[in-house]
Every structure is written in C-alpha cells, then in structure tokens.
Structure 1
Amino acid sequence: MAEGESFSDVLRHYPQVFPTLYPTLVAVGEMTGKLDVCCQQLATQQEQQLQLQKKVKQALRYPGFVLGVSVTVSIIMLIWVLPEFTSLYEAFETPLPPLTQRVLALADVVAHHALLLLTLPVSIVLGYPVCRARSIALRRQEERFLLKIPLLGTLMRGETLSYLFTLLALTQRAGLTLPA
C-alpha cells in the first residue's frame, strides 16, 4: 500500500480485482467512520451474489446438457443417417415431398461443409468475447437485444433493480443517507 493514500484510493488502483462499487463504499465508510460495517456488508453482499450465481449455474446445467446432446444427435443424423436414406429414396424414382427434399438438401450441405460449419461457431464463441470487451457500442447493442427477449429481459431488469437497491441499502447502512 502506498503511504498517505486512503484505503479506498488504493482499491481504485486495482479495478481488475475490486469492482467500482467497492472503493466507493469504502470511501463512504472512511468518511462516516463506519469502515468496518462497510467491509462486512461488502463481504456479505459478495457471498450472497456468489451463492445466487452458483444456483443459476446449477439450474442451467441440465438444460445446457440436453441442448448439447440434441444438437449433437441432430448433426450426426444430418451427416451420417440421412445420406443413407437419400439413396433409398432415389431407388423409388418418385418425387419426394418438398419438406423431405429440403431436409435432404440440408443434410447434403452439412455433410459437404461440416468443417466450416464446426469452425464457424467455435470461432464466434471464442472471438465474440474479445470483440465485446473492446467495444462499448457492441455491448450496448447486445443489452438492447437481450432486453427485448421476453423472459430474459424481465430477469435482466430485475437483476439491475436488485443491484441498485442493494447499492442504496449498502450506502445507507454505511452512513451516507440520501436527502429527502
């Protein structure tokens, strides 16, 4: 720690470790003489947030697994199973229904461009976070898009309101009250 600097100023030197909220609330605690209360509240809030994140990850684990298995099975069906049926259908020498023709055409595209179709999603998954971290405009567009999704938008608004109310409660308990 540097000499002559307050604890909150030192925390500001490490934004990759301490979110913006931490130095601000520590500064409030320093000003009001309730630094111990502030630090205890921050620790409690962080524990609660980690518990909530853990519960959400556990809740999403099974649907993610089911989605992954279903996509894998669909790709296997398109690459190996449906092409076998193509030769069978050609032996009948009758016109196929349009939906069946489209599914067989999709299977043909997937079979011939499997490498591209696999590398494209992987590169998007790996490249998007880098682009997102560098572009504020991209993050804002993403947030606008996500807020328009019915259930997800409601959850995101609720999370933001919860964060705001938690912040207000923490600052009030630390001794900084809002004027009436």
Structure 2
Amino acid sequence: MKYYEIEVLLKGKREALLIKAENRQEALHLCKLKKGGVILKIKETAPPLEERIKEWKEKLLVFVKQSKVKPDSLIAAIRQLAVMTNAGIPIYDALKEIANSTMDRNLKEILLKVSEDINSGMSLSESLENFTYELGSLTITLIRLGEQTGNMPEALFTLADILEEIRENVMKFKKAIRYPLITLGAMAIAFVILIMFVVPKFKSIFERFKAELPLPTKILLWLEHTFSTYGLQVLGGFILIISLIIYLYRNNEDIKYKIDKYLLKIYLIKDIIYYATLSRFTLVFTELVSSGIPVAEALDSSVAMVDNSYLKEKLEIVKVLVQRGVSLTEAFKETGLFENMIIQMIAAGESSGQLDAMMRKISDYYRMKFNYILDNMSSYIEPILLTIIAGLVLLLALGIFLPMWDMASAVKGR
C-alpha cells in the first residue's frame, strides 16, 4: 500500500488529505468518496511515523514468532503423507490426520492451515509457499515435482530421504564442532575470570610504580575496565547487534546478498556452503530431469531452492542461458562455479543423451566432498583453536609478566 497527499478545494477552502491506497487512481476515487470537492493536487508521500512504527512492530513480531519446524517432526509427517497418499487417501484427509497426531505445535498449525487452503481449491504447493521459511524451499520444490509428475508418493519418499540425509549431516557438523566450542567457551570463561579478579590485583602494583606499561598490559587493563564498568552494556549490545543482523539478513535482500557473498570468503565456511548448496542443487535437478521435467523448468525449480543469494545469482545464469537456447554445458561453464571435470561430465551426459545419469554422478561427487569436510572437521578447526588459545595465553603472560620484569630490573638497578 502507498500513501498519497491530496489537496482538495471544498466550499471555498483548501484541505489536505492523507489517503492510503494501492495506486494513484484508487487514491483519487477514495478521496472523491470521502470528501468530494475539486482535487487540486495529488502526490505520493512517505507513510506517517505512527504507521511506520506499527509496520516495524508487526515485522518484529513475525520475526520473533517465526520458527522452523523440527526436522524429526517434518520427516515423520512427510513419510506419513507419502504412505497415506500411496494408499489412495485424499491429501486433505491425510493432512488432517497427520495434524491431529503430530506433537509439534508449529507443524500442527501449518498442516491445519494447508488443509483449509486445499479445501478452498488451492494446490498443496501453492499453500505451502506461505510457509517456505518454516518448511524450507526444498520441501516446496519436491512437492511441486510430485504435482507436476502426478506421482506424489514417490516425490514425498524422495523428499524424506533427502531431509534425513541433511539432518544426519547437521548432526555430524554439530558433533564435529562440539569439542572446539566447549574448549573455546571454557577458555573464554577462564579469560574473563582472570581479567575480572586477577588483573585488578596487579593493577594496584603497576599504579604504585607509575612506570610506562607495555601494550599487552594496557590491553588487559582496558579490558578489565570495560568488563567491570560496562559489562552488562557490552553483553546487551552484543546480543542486540546479533539479533539485528539476523533480522536484516531475513528481511533485507541487499544485506542478505552481501553477507552470503562474504561467507563464501571465510576459511572452511566457504567450502561447507559451496558443497552443501551444489550437492542439493544437482540432486534436485537430477530428480526433476529424471522425472521427465523439461531442463529449463527443472533449472527454474532447482535454482529457486538455493538459499545462498550469491550462489543463487550465479546459478540463475544457467537458467537464463538455457532459456535462450545455449547448451547446458556452456551455461554451467559461464557461472564459473564448476570445475573443468564437472563441465566435461555434463558435456558427456548431453552428447550421450544420459544427462540424468551423469548429473546423479555429479550430485554424488559433491555429496562425497561435503561429507569429507564434515568427517574431517576437527582437523580443520584444530589450527584455528590452537591459534586462539595461544593468543589468549600469550596476551595474559606478556600483559602480567613484562611489567613485572621491568620493575624487577628497575629495583636491581638501584
């Protein structure tokens, strides 16, 4: 909705009205209904402050309430739906039954709303698009595949298998980073305790001698002052900044794009995102092509489920070029995302007429690379962990002992 400021001449007096409407014509029509008179001027204007605050509050409320469905609950519901549709039970009845049996309150509300939409004439995929964040774009894409091919049970079983694989990978990732996170957490707590309770003891000694302190000691004293004076403010500010970044990431496309692009430059994280994204993209594309969906349409659905904005932009190049009549090999090559071996495999699949079989091998290759990273996560993280721990220990040691050595030397020099 837009806001229009309209100046009206009514009974010899000028009046200014603020009208909320979809477009200029609707604003003029509403103005004539409300006031009549002669319209002198109309211009689009910014929403009033109270409306902007109200809109911001509504978005914030949605952001706070919005939460993804638990993977276990979603997988169980999809498998139930696959079995019931395979048995010939109508989707409306199946959704109602699953909603009544699930213990996940969020999923229950979604299924009941979807069943109402289906009863009113909407398709399953159209209704589920309203819950893309909660269910994931992969779920929507595979269910749309089932509608297009007319084989919903097979699409649902495939979706459940893919989601189970993703869940296992997430569990492996959490297991791999559990030890480093616990170690870093313990080190951070120990560091804060030393800063808060040990450094102040030395602070009085340093102040007594009034000597020039080295940089590590100044850093420790600054940290001690910050934590003791502004500890709660720093913690609150940190939480606020993280929450703001998450909110903007979900609601601002430009910021999401910049963050997604930056993440692809960070050590280890870039490989995890890259291989996870391409593994899912090639897998979904393979399933769509194998089911007889045209390549251009399969690309459209596969690209739509990519979460990383930067990679999505690159992969959309493939979709655009294929729609223009460029070969799939050249289109994939143009993105710059795929290594030469993958391009050669796609070319071989195109020339032999076995594109789906070759794409399945490519999907397996990316899955293997992704699983290898997860299986060796500890060896990748250990150097970073050791560097951080060494840096903290070195800062504490130099910050405390350097001035002590200087003071001892000064005393001996007397």
TM-score range relative to shorter protein: 0.7 to 0.9
Aligned counterpart, 1:135: 252
- The correspondence for 2:201, drawn from 77, 84, 95, is 84
The amino acid across from 1:152 in the alignment is I
Q: CA deviation at 1:25?
A: 3.0
Pick from 221, 234, 238 the counterpart of residue 121 of structure 1.
238
| Match in the other structure for 2:160 | 43
**Structure 1 residue 4, shift from structure 2 partner:** 4.4
Q: What does residue 107 of structure 1 align with?
A: 224
Kindly indicate whether the alpha-carbon contact (under 8 Å) linking 1:34 and 1:175 is maintained by their aligned counterparts in 2. no
CA positional deviation for 1:17: 4.3
1:60 equivalent in alignment to 2:177? yes
Instruction: Report SS of the residue matched to 1:75.
Output: helix
49-58 vs 25-34, which deviates more?
A: 25-34
Find out whether 1:30 has 2:147 as its counterpart.
yes
Structure 1 residues 8, 122: closer, same or farther in 2, change over 3 A?
A: closer
Of structures 1 and 2, the larger Rg is shown by 2
* Superposed counterparts of 1:156-167, under 5 Å: 156-167=273-284
Q: Alignment partner for residue 2 of structure 1, among 98, 119, 133?
A: 119
Q: Which has the higher contact order (CA 8 A, sep 6+)?
A: 1
Give the partner amino acid of 1:55.
K
TM-score (normalizing by structure 2): 0.39
Do the aligned partners of residues 174 and 77 (structure 1) sit closer, same or farther apart at CA in structure 2, a change above 3 Å counting? same
Corresponding residue for residue 190 of structure 2: 73
Q: Secondary structure at the match of 1:96?
A: coil
Distance 2:268 2:187 in 1: 23
- Listed as ranges, the gaps of 5+ residues in structure 1 are none
Instruction: Compute the displacement of 1:13 (Å).
Output: 4.6
The percentage of aligned residue pairs carrying the same residue is 26
- TM-score w.r.t. the length of structure 1 is 0.83
Gaps of 5+ in 2: 1-117, 297-349, 351-414
Contact 2:249 2:256 in 1 (8 A): yes
